[in-house]
Amino acid sequence: MLRCLRLLFYFLPFLISSPLWGQLLVTPNQTANAMVDRLVGSGVVYYNPVLTCALDASGKFENGLTTSILIDSGIVLTSGKCQSNLFSTGVNGSAALFASNDNLVLTSDPDLSPIATGGIQDICKLEFDFVPIGDTIEFNYRFGSEEYPSYTCNNFNDIFAFFISGPGYATPTNVALIPGTSCPVSINTINFSTANPCGNVVSPCAPPNNALYVNNSSSATITYDGMTAKLKAIAPVTPCSTYHMKFAIADVFDGILDSGVFLEAGSFTSEAATITSISSTNSLGGSAPLLEGCLASIVTIRRPNPKPTPQVVGLQYSGTAVSGIDYNTLPATVTIPANDTIVTFTINAIPDGILEGTETILINVYGSACNNTITDSKSVNILIDQLLG
């Protein structure tokens, strides 16, 4: 009944208020390629983008000066409309307005339908294949809904998920999870309640996850009454392998009370290894050069976070110093062990008794051994022993 009453007052805000749409700039109906290109950042090559959404249900956005979206720019997928106009309310209206648009399309999805609490419709999904350079992919997002707060802890919850498939994922796996858990992000897992169970969700996934919920009911720039905090999705992957990604959102039971997910531009990335230090093994400190027959240098390769799988890192050397003559033969690849962040190797300068002045080794790091993209570089100086000659 409450849902029906809300619909009766749908047009009332247009008559009594002046909506502030211009502060979040939304452009609907972008191509699949434009959407994925806006989302994908460093360390990822994508192809085969496909967008399956109703007219005006998806688009790109730019943050205004005073919005509460907490993301500078990105793309948005909704179960209703993404842009507000004189005939419908999208994501960029005042929370005093009411986003409820039944698009009357797309009532089934092989991945989303089985995990919903009822029949779904108004599906909007973006999918593509990709190859990561590193051993992890991650991206930032926020979920919002008009079903907050009235339909918290019941089965009317709209649904969204981010499905990854490929090596290590025998079936499409949702990576939209509450940080540090295997619990999916949803209206019944992130909200203002302390109920347990919360509708169809029981411990340990039921609230309290209150710290991740944002009461948006007083916002002048984002329509949804409730939102999650800005969250990060993370998934381990095998470098250089091909994966499929699907972002999907839908209404459940009926086509009203819209929901949407905002994805941050350039945040879909894969971590690449970097050189964090080149240090001397003697008391002169980390900036000391190599000395022929005396000082060595230890090179440390690091990835940002420990992962359950090893990471192979490619290396290439150039410069005025010559391998095998001026310094020892160095590895073409090194492997960061599973559950670790670093691997090291040593450079020793070979004494040749020739007064050559300063020579240089340039070390190029390839974040993984699968392509020719340099992700970091460092140089090492070799000095002759000044006592020679």
Q: What is the pLDDT of residue 34?
A: 98
Q: 80 with 44: CB under 8 angstroms?
A: no
CB distance 301 to 278 below 8 Å: no
H or E stretch including 261? strand 259-264
* Assigned fold of 274-383: Immunoglobulin-like (2.60.40)
pLDDT at 371: 62
d(CA 204, CA 207): 8
Q: Which residue, 371, 111, 132, is CA-closest to 236?
A: 132
Residue-level pLDDT at 15: 36
Please choose, from the candidates 237, 240, 236, the residue with its C-alpha nearest in 3D space to the C-alpha of residue 371.
Answer: 240
Q: Nearest Cα to 84, choosing from 26, 11, 144?
A: 26
pLDDT in tens, the chain (389 residues): 444 444 444 444 433 333 444 478 999 999 999 999 999 998 899 999 999 999 999 999 998 666 668 898 999 999 999 998 888 899 998 898 989 999 888 888 999 999 998 999 999 999 999 999 888 899 999 999 999 999 999 888 999 999 999 999 999 999 999 999 999 999 999 999 999 999 989 999 999 899 999 999 988 889 999 999 999 999 988 888 999 999 999 999 988 999 999 999 999 999 777 777 766 554 344 455 656 566 788 888 888 778 777 888 889 999 988 898 888 999 999 998 988 988 999 888 887 666 667 888 899 887 766 667 777 888 888 765 443 33
State residue 11's pLDDT score. 41
SS3 256: coil
**CA separation for the pair 4, 169 (Å, rounded):** 41
Query: Domain locations in the chain?
Result: 2-270, 274-383
How many Å apart are CA 223 and CA 216, to the nearest integer?
Answer: 8
Question: Count of CB atoms within 10 A of residue 105's CB?
Answer: 15
Omega within 30 of 0 (cis) for the link into 197? yes
Q: Is the peptide bond before 310 cis (omega within 30 degrees of 0)?
A: no
